[in-house]
């Protein structure tokens, strides 16, 4: 056989297909390892269930920072937050359904401290390592990693709304369950007392608990019900308050002695009372 007739090794029968197969197995193995160990590079690489603990920690970190503000010597805010909500029916891709987890909180503070609190959120060591924050006019945006986003907006002086979203995520099997929290008896009793003083009776109760990054818990207990008459918030509640933060016709927020904060909102004849204990 002449030199021109000798086939390269990779052309010999069986060698080329075997090499291709082996290389495909290597690529598949690396892809699987990356899927299990590397950070996500697109949102749909993490299921909703995988995103939930990251979202919980991010929400707790941002709320704990807000609760410790505003950083100018003013009174601490009062925080009210609810349980996470899972909304199915979104589209991860054109051929794949998913679900989104959202969570919301309201921060009540002295109206003159609204801008100071936004600035406080971006202070040195304000949030965990790896978080990124951008400040806007009376607003902030947080990237907590893993495509978890939070946004805070001053709705009006003295009221800051915070929202978290995971974005649309794939779901494996059934939707993840949201664990129901039991209302703290002392906080529930306080909220019910405030509600009764406003001429309303509690028709529903709920509680939400977050583990604070530095230890302790941040807990909100909500009691709500219809009012027989339009309540006069300031006239009824000022005597209970150690420090009033927000005083409006349909909204009243105040501190009691200690770590307890109370926020009252009146909407369409329903009164909602939130009693919150801070991280402490």
Report pLDDT for 220.
95
pLDDT score recorded for residue 10: 45
Cα–Cα dist 64/170, whole Å: 29
pLDDT band at 39 (very low <50, low <70, confident <90, very high): very low
Please, are residues 96 and 46 in contact by the beta-carbon 8 Å criterion?
no
- What pLDDT is recorded for position 72? 85
Query: 38: helix, coil or strand?
Result: coil
pLDDT tens digit sequence for 50-59: 999 999 999 9
Cβ within 8 Å of residue 99, ≥6 positions away? 48, 86, 87, 88, 89, 90, 168, 169, 171, 175
pLDDT at 45 over 90: no
Q: What's the confidence (pLDDT) of residue 38?
A: 44
Pairing state of beta strands 78-81 and 96-108?
antiparallel
Interval 182-221: pLDDT, tens? 888 889 999 999 999 999 987 799 999 999 998 999 999 9
Among 88-92, 99-103, 151-155, name the one with the lowest average pLDDT.
88-92
pLDDT at 15: 54
Nearest to 270 by CA among 199, 215, 217: 199
| CB-facing half-sphere around the CA of 144: CA atoms within 13 A | 24
Q: Is the pLDDT of residue 35 over 50?
A: no
The pLDDT value recorded for residue 7 is 54
Q: What is the mean pLDDT of the chain?
A: 86
The rounded distance, in Å, linking the Cα atoms of 112 and 75 is 11
Query: Is the entire prediction scored with pTM above 0.85?
Result: no
Model confidence at 41: pLDDT above 60: no
> What is the pLDDT averaged over residues 125-134?
93
Query: Of residues 38 and 168, which shows the higher confidence score?
Result: 168
Contact present, 222 and 205 (Cβ < 8 Å): yes
């Amino acid at each position: 056989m002449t030199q021109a007739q000798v086939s390269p090794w990779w052309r010999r029968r069986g060698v080329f297909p075997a090499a291709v197969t082996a290389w495909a197995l290597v690529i598949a193995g690396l892809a699987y390892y990356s899927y299990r160990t590397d950070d996500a590079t697109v949102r749909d690489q993490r299921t909703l269930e995988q995103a939930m603990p990251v979202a919980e920690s991010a929400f707790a970190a941002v709320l704990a920072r807000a609760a410790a503000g505003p950083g100018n010597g003013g009174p601490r805010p009062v925080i009210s937050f609810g349980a996470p909500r899972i909304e199915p029916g979104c589209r991860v891709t054109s051929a794949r359904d998913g679900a989104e987890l959202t969570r919301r909180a309201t921060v009540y503070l002295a109206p003159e401290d609204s801008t100071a609190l936004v600035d406080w959120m971006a202070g040195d060591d304000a949030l965990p390592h790896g978080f990124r924050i951008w400040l806007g006019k009376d607003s902030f945006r947080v990237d907590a990693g893993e495509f978890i986003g939070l946004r805070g907006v001053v709705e009006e002086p003295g009221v800051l709304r915070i929202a978290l979203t995971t974005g649309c995520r794939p779901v494996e099997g059934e939707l993840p369950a949201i664990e129901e929290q039991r209302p703290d008896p002392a906080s529930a009793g306080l909220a019910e007392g405030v509600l009764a003083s406003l001429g309303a009776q509690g028709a529903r109760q709920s509680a939400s608990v977050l583990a604070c990054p530095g230890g302790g818990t941040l807990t909100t207990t909500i009691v709500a019900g219809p009012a027989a008459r339009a309540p006069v918030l300031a006239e009824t509640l000022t005597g209970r308050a150690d420090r009033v933060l927000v005083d409006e016709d349909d909204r009243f927020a105040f501190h009691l002695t200690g770590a307890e904060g109370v926020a009252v909102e009146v909407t369409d004849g329903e009164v909602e009372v939130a009693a919150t204990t801070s991280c402490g």
